[in-house]
Each structure stands twice: as C-alpha cells, then as structure tokens.
Structure 1
Amino acid sequence: MNLSTEEMYGYSITKTSRALLRFLSGHLKRYSITPEQWTVLKRVYENDGIKQKELASIADKDPATLAKILDLLERGEFVIRKTNHTDRRSYFIFITEKGTNLRNEVYVHLEHLFGQVLEGISDEELTIFTKVLQQIEKNAINDTDI
C-alpha cells in the first residue's frame, strides 16, 4: 500500500503534536495550568513588561485567546496587567514573584521530561529535525492560496 505524502507526513506531524500536547497537559495538571497558559507564562517571563499585542504575536495566540489566558493567569496571581498610560486601550504584562516561582519550577520539571522524550536521538538528528520542521512551517506560512 502506497501512502500519500499527506498521510506519511501531515498525519505523522499532527499525531505527534497531539501526543506532545497530551503529554504536556498531563504533566502540567499538577501545577494547575494548561500548555497554553504555560506558553504565555514563559513568554512573559522572557519579556517582562511586554505589550499585550506583542505578547500575542510571540506566543502565537490570537488576541481574544490571549486575553482569556491572561485573565486566568492574573486570577492565579502569576501575571499582572498595567494600563499603558500613552494608549489606554493597551496593556503591559508583567510576571509576578509567584509567576516566576511557577515558571522556574515547571521549567526544571519539563526540561527533565523532555530529556526523556528525546532520549536516543542524537544532537545531529535533532538539528536536522529542527531545520526540517522550520522549513515545513515556513512553507505553510508562505502559502498564499489560503
């Protein structure tokens, strides 16, 4: 049986992505956050004081989704939003001490877990894998037929 390229690659990428999402979700439950919240928390940690609009871009979240995630992170006292006094429709996002502590704890845990997930894969293979994924993403983004 000959598999189509969509079946060989598209399905494989999707299946792997879903498996990793389930993996992350399961391990993040103990911290009472979702993978989406984790992504945003990491980006705020890396860019403390970032504008909400810029955060949406680097976290790859649409503005409405990001607003909901920030509501949850703010309710958990992991981040705070401060009004931009030069543009009252805009907010700056800051990580709190509690958010920094959570980020540090989760980061160490996930680094260990991903070490296990990547076990048996050489650095050279991972470098090639990363380049291939980046090219696939670039090709998908550059598709103007959508």
Structure 2
Amino acid sequence: MTQEQFSKYSFLLDRTARRVKQYAQRKFKLSDFDITVDQWLVMKNLSENELLSQSELAQLVFKDQPTLTRIIDILTKKDYVERLPHPQDRRSFQLVLTELGKDKVKELKPQVASIREKAWENLNESDFLEFKRILNTIYSNLE
C-alpha cells in the first residue's frame, strides 16, 4: 500500500470514528440522558466490572488520568459513581456505581443499543465479520 492510500484509509477511519461519536453525543443530548458519551462509557464499564481502580478504568475507556478524573468528578457530583478507599493502598481508591448509577445504566442500555444500531444499518453478517477482523488486525499491529 502506498503512503497516499494509507493516508486516505486512516482519514476514513478517523472520520468515521468522529462521526459515530458525534451522532451518539447528539442523540444523548436530544434524549436528555443527563450524561455524555464519555460518561456513559465510564458507567457502562463500571457496571461490568467490580471495584475498579482509576488506572484500570482509564485503560478500559482509553482516557488519560486527568480526563478520567474530570469525568469521575462529574459522575460523583451526580451521585452515579462513588469513590471507595482502596483496602491495600491508602493513596488510591476504587470506583463503583451507586444504586442511582446502576439504575441509570439499566435505563439507558436499550436506548444506547438503538443508537449504535443506526451505525450498523445496511450491513450484513459477513460485513460485520470482515470489519471485526480488520479492526482486530489493526489493533494487534499496534501492540
């Protein structure tokens, strides 16, 4: 592949990722979800994992520490997330969803799923399998 082709494909990947996030953010706002897409990713990951440290969560949601700290601060103020002292490390804490946070995730899951489905319209099973294969290859190339 030439450098020009590589550049075009990289542009398409970046452009598509941005479009998906912008579309989701617009739907979150129009539907008055009371959280952003990034906040949703944090809450969803906390709902799927017991007691995560901030560094573990940062890796799962691909956010740097300062950005994740701001997101956690906002979610804590909304009473969706709670910081608990870490049992082995007094300098850190573990993050958990509050009952209100768990209820919010349960409420939004079907709506978020329908937002995601819009991006996948007009794609068949073989499209999904090929897309998954390509994305996993790109990811593995960069390990």
Normalising by the residue count of structure 2, what TM-score does the alignment of the two structures yield? 0.89
CA distance in 2, matches of 1:57, 1:114: 22
Amino acid at match of 1:132: I
Q: Which residue is equivalent to 1:18?
A: 18
Match status 1:27 vs 2:27: yes
Deviations 1:91-133 (A, max 9, x none): 1111111111211222100212222321211112101101101
The number of residues matched between the two structures is 140
8 Å CA contact 2:20–2:119 kept in 1: the answer is no
Which of 32, 38, 41 in structure 1 is aligned with 2:40? Answer: 38
Match status 1:66 vs 2:68: yes
Q: After TM superposition, what 4+ stretches of structure 1 lie above 3 angstroms from structure 2?
A: none
CA distance in 1, matches of 2:68, 2:117: 29
8 Å CA contact 1:50–1:94 kept in 2: the answer is yes
> Unaligned regions of 5+ residues in structure 1, if any?
none
> Unaligned regions of 5+ residues in structure 2, if any?
none
Q: After TM superposition, give the deviation of residue 57 of structure 1 in Å.
A: 1.5
1:31 partner SS: coil
Sequence identity percentage: 27
Root-mean-square deviation (CA, aligned residues, Å) is 1.8
